[in-house]
Structure 1
Amino acid sequence: MRRRTTRLACVLVLAVLVVAGVVPTARAATTVLTNYLVVSPAPGPLAATVTSIRAQGGTVLQQWPEIGVVVVESQRADFAHDLRGDPGVLAVGATRAMAAKQPYRLVTDAAPAGPLGPGTTGGRDETEPEFAKQWDMRQIGAEKAHLTTDGSRSVTVGVLDSGVDPTHPDLQANVDARLSVGCTNDGRPDTRPAAWQPTGSGHGTHVAGTIAAARNGVGIIGVAPNVRLASVKVVDEQGYIYPEYAICGFMWAGQQRLSVTNNSYFIDPWGLWCASSPDQQAVIWAVNRALAWSGSRDVVNVAAAGNARWDLAGSITDKGSPNNGTPTERVTDQRCVDIPAEGRDAITVSAVGPTGRKAYYSNFGHGVIDITAPGGDAWLNWRDERAAETDAIYSTLPGGTYGWQQGTSMAAPHVTGVVALLRSTRPELNAGQVREVLLAQATPKACPVKYDYTGDGRPDAICTGGAGEGFYGAGLVNAAAAVTP
């Protein structure tokens, strides 16, 4: 199986963005061992649901009675079809478009995670050696916020991603191993360090640095450098984020009462999940239940809008899904959504470059984008032969290194960091109130007069909404305002 990394809402400098989408789910012609989500009519005891599952030959892997969802394994091609309508079953959906499961592999040489550091109160960011490269922090006023506070140790950010390196000198003081977990073994929580540390991708470590790289005179500074980080690994060894992984992450966040989660990915294998498909509708319902439940536990969930240059408020021609098999082109409608970005109560983040203009790759859409943040734009001069990596986002990478990446993956953690600052300075606010204040404090950005990125005389995207909502939502996230009484 080819490894595909574009499902993470990140674009490596000089990399090609791959558009991903959706096609109707067909009945499988062959029998493969794969996973399903079974949704019960309501949250609560799942005895009737489990009985029906087993009667159809399914094996229960994980139960979430809080949201009425069961993760199931079956080798029967007609499993979902035959289970629909049985007692205790509202919906059933294959999570992998009927692709065969790959064996789970736990890496055994995990690095020991040290204790939390003493923490910091605030200071001047110029003392961090690499701060000059962090145009993004200056764009959102983070260095002004840090003159007041670095955030509170009582705030924990869940990084739902490819794992966070707990030994990185800019992260080790802030990674809380007690709250970290792996979710890639069929969506079952695994707290062993090997299950939540990065093995094949530095994406999660890069995201974590933007959120909370420590004030320590080493490297860079994060938006909220004194908050704690929980590594919640939802990316498997093949690079996929299947629905059961993401659901496990949201449920873990709610169970542990994390303050905020960062979700810089879209859920595989569909770039857009369509309610017109029984399989995909079941997944949409299950993910939305998990998001809503975590929200009811006072978790704020932040999500990247994606990098396909799509107008998420309109019809989309999607040529790349399912991305774990043979893609088929489909024109989608408003029954099709990007999850978790368009999931229930998620704060959806688009990306801008150093000039504050929408990054060329960023998805957009009036009524979809909530807020924008720096994600990098290495092709600000489209006619240049080479991208300017310094126009991307500089952050931490595994092995104590640093590097440049760009994408809405890099924009979302700026918003997550500001949410962490808000939860530090105004702990009396609940999750819904935090969202309201975050959007109210954003710096409004109007639509550009003409968005002609390539300079060919034709608009490359249409921004709608008088105050720029189609590209920027409420506007540019504002770290300085988040710490102002």
Structure 2
Amino acid sequence: MRRTTFRAFVAAAVAVSAAGVTAATAAPAVAQDAAEAHFVVLGPQHGSLGRTEASIRAAGGEVLQSWPQIGVVIATSADAEFASTVRGKPGVAAAGASRNLAELGQAAARAAGAAEQQGMLAKIDAVATTAAKSAPVAGAVTPEPLEANQWGVRAIKSDQANAISGGNREVLVGVLDSGIDAAHPDLAPNVDASKSVGCTNEGVPDTSPAAWAPTTSSHGTHVAGTIAAARNGIGVAGVAPNVRLASVKVVDDDGYIYPEYAICGFVWAAEKGIDVTNNSYFIDPWFLWCKTDPDQSAVIQAVKRAVDYSHRRDVINVAALGNSNWDLTHEITDAGSPNNGTPVERTVGNECMDIPAELPGVVGVSAIGPETRKSYYSNYGLIEADVTAPGGDSRQVAGTPDGNGRILSTIPGGGYGYSQGTSMASPHATGVLALIRSTHRNWPAPLAAASLGLRADRLACPPGVYDPDGTGAWLATCQGGPSGKGFYGFGVVDALDAVTR
């Protein structure tokens, strides 16, 4: 098995601990030379990182950011051998390059993997720049003007749930993504600027609005709309339209989510009272990070420390499983990594993992289309798929006025657009968790996370080999029979149960 799964939460939902944590401190970033590479260095998980930082400098590195609360330092060095040099020095438990040393070579090779990386940050087609405002009806949930085309909200019953509850204003959802357009009329009522941050400057938190606003990508704004677009008579409806949103920007202008960005985001969520995070990405530059490689292993450990820290602070983390039609339980041929340089084809097994989705306790979400079957592109796995949710599928027909099988949501500039991907499935599940946390404010994170699976609607495996378009190009085999676990985990998330049970 690749990870300790979300299913462990179900088995031990009542065994919850409240561990103490240390307040955050951070070293200021220093100006970096273009020919320096980035590294994660792991020190002691408790106490000072003084010896760790001294060893980094003694090995010729510079400290960019220290996270003493998790024992992780982000460093740079122009020396390709820096990680192997610093390993084993006083205060150093592990070290590894976070960006595959591509920064030390020619930048021209970056383009080779860019298209592969952008597959997770799904392409969004704008369909409207404005949406008429509709008059609300007293005592009822009035459909939003574009809601008739949101088959996903009906598939998980959030339209019915919202007649009972749209969520609690005390609940805060962190959208770890490419930034949220806080001026969008469907999002402006719910974006909490005081809890938002940018993490793409070397992983150093920056709370200026420009640091967490979208720049080159619509992805984060689209994800945010699915979670919590307001029911205000304008545009679309979110699954939990009354909860607050924090924009935690972890996607840089080139579309990369490097480890230091994600670590910053998880620590921020832990320390700012965020209840649920949505992570519709994989951490670059490796599609799958391998424990057998010392550099990649160090990164896995560093991100895991940040995720574990957020768990101790009562955060639930939800993540997309990816869009390569991979069975994550079995061997995979990865021909796209590293995606910031020249990819090298490799066959990997359970020693390698998609992070953050396969980290312990993270809720991994696969995607279904409007015909309630696996989206052709969705990754899956008997262990890795915890739940499933609407992610869209252009090859399935929606019973909507537009007939579009993809997901409609908000995009920057006050517009709306369609997209598909497990990136779109994850925020549906996140929205349901926001409703669960709203309904049961006294439930700790493990219990709330477990209830997501316990309330899901089972979906059986399709018979035989799944061939969604009949061409053989997207073949997949679902393990689990009537349980559907191989494709769908515990099943389709259920928003109505979230507010009634």
Normalising by the residue count of structure 1, what TM-score does the alignment of the two structures yield?
0.87
Counterpart residue identity of residue 470, structure 1: G
Counterpart residue identity of residue 380, structure 2: F
C-alpha distance in structure 2 between counterparts of 1:459 and 1:168, whole Å: 37
SS across alignment from 2:73? strand
Q: Give the aligned length.
A: 432
Match of 1:462 in 2: 477
Match of 2:123 in 1: none
The CA deviation at 1:127 is 3.0
User: What does 1:382-461 correspond to in 2, within 5 Å?
Assistant: 390-450=404-464, 451-456=466-471, 460-461=475-476
| 1:277 pairs with 2:293 | yes
The CA deviation at 1:427 is 0.6
2:72 is aligned, of 60, 69, 73, to: 69
C-alpha distance in structure 1 between counterparts of 2:363 and 2:264, whole Å: 19
Counterpart residue identity of residue 219, structure 1: G
Poorly superposed stretches of 4+, deviation over 6 Å:
none
| 1:228 pairs with 2:231 | no
1:85 is aligned, of 84, 88, 108, to: 88
| 1:306 pairs with 2:317 | no
The CA deviation at 1:99 is 1.6
CA shift digits 1:426-475 (9 cap, x unpaired): 01110100111111000011101131213247981010013010100000
2:49 is aligned, of 46, 51, 59, to: 46
C-alpha distance in structure 2 between counterparts of 1:51 and 1:166, whole Å: 41
1:253 is aligned, of 248, 269, 289, to: 269
C-alpha distance in structure 1 between counterparts of 2:403 and 2:179, whole Å: 24
Match of 1:197 in 2: 213
C-alpha distance in structure 1 between counterparts of 2:475 and 2:143, whole Å: 40
C-alpha distance in structure 1 between counterparts of 2:139 and 2:211, whole Å: 35
User: What does 1:141-220 correspond to in 2, within 5 Å?
Assistant: 141-220=157-236
C-alpha distance in structure 1 between counterparts of 2:148 and 2:427, whole Å: 19
| 1:128 pairs with 2:150 | no
Match of 1:11 in 2: none
Indicate conservation of the 8 Å contact 2:377/2:474, yes or no: no
C-alpha distance in structure 2 between counterparts of 1:123 and 1:363, whole Å: 41
Counterpart residue identity of residue 309, structure 1: N
SS across alignment from 1:391? coil
Indicate conservation of the 8 Å contact 2:61/2:77, yes or no: yes
Pair 321,458 (structure 1): closer, same or farther in 2 beyond 3 Å = closer
SS across alignment from 1:137? helix
SS across alignment from 1:127? coil
The CA deviation at 1:123 is 6.5
CA shift digits 1:278-298 (9 cap, x unpaired): 000000000111101001000
C-alpha distance in structure 2 between counterparts of 1:465 and 1:39, whole Å: 39
C-alpha distance in structure 1 between counterparts of 2:45 and 2:247, whole Å: 30
C-alpha distance in structure 2 between counterparts of 1:40 and 1:458, whole Å: 46
Counterpart residue identity of residue 322, structure 1: P
| 1:369 pairs with 2:369 | no
C-alpha distance in structure 2 between counterparts of 1:43 and 1:69, whole Å: 10
Match of 1:23 in 2: none
C-alpha distance in structure 1 between counterparts of 2:191 and 2:437, whole Å: 18
CA shift digits 1:70-124 (9 cap, x unpaired): 000111121111101101111101111002189xxxxxxxxxxxxxxxxx9x964
Match of 1:94 in 2: 97
Indicate conservation of the 8 Å contact 2:325/2:474, yes or no: no
CA shift digits 1:298-343 (9 cap, x unpaired): 0000000000110000000000110000001000011100000101
The CA deviation at 1:189 is 0.4
Indicate conservation of the 8 Å contact 2:395/2:469, yes or no: no
Pair 297,458 (structure 1): closer, same or farther in 2 beyond 3 Å = closer
C-alpha distance in structure 1 between counterparts of 2:349 and 2:439, whole Å: 41
SS across alignment from 1:415? helix
C-alpha distance in structure 1 between counterparts of 2:472 and 2:224, whole Å: 39
SS across alignment from 2:79? coil
CA shift digits 1:379-416 (9 cap, x unpaired): 237xxxxxx97100000000000010000000000000
C-alpha distance in structure 2 between counterparts of 1:455 and 1:422, whole Å: 39
Indicate conservation of the 8 Å contact 1:123/1:146, yes or no: no
SS across alignment from 1:136? helix
C-alpha distance in structure 2 between counterparts of 1:220 and 1:398, whole Å: 14
SS across alignment from 1:302? strand
The CA deviation at 1:257 is 1.7
Match of 1:28 in 2: none
SS across alignment from 1:303? strand
Indicate conservation of the 8 Å contact 2:456/2:491, yes or no: yes
Indicate conservation of the 8 Å contact 1:32/1:76, yes or no: no
Indicate conservation of the 8 Å contact 1:170/1:209, yes or no: yes
Moved more, 372-381 or 191-200: 372-381
C-alpha distance in structure 2 between counterparts of 1:460 and 1:61, whole Å: 45
Pair 199,152 (structure 1): closer, same or farther in 2 beyond 3 Å = same
Indicate conservation of the 8 Å contact 1:125/1:131, yes or no: no
Match of 2:20 in 1: none
C-alpha distance in structure 2 between counterparts of 1:123 and 1:84, whole Å: 64
SS across alignment from 1:239? coil
Indicate conservation of the 8 Å contact 1:32/1:98, yes or no: no
C-alpha distance in structure 2 between counterparts of 1:32 and 1:278, whole Å: 22
Indicate conservation of the 8 Å contact 2:177/2:247, yes or no: yes
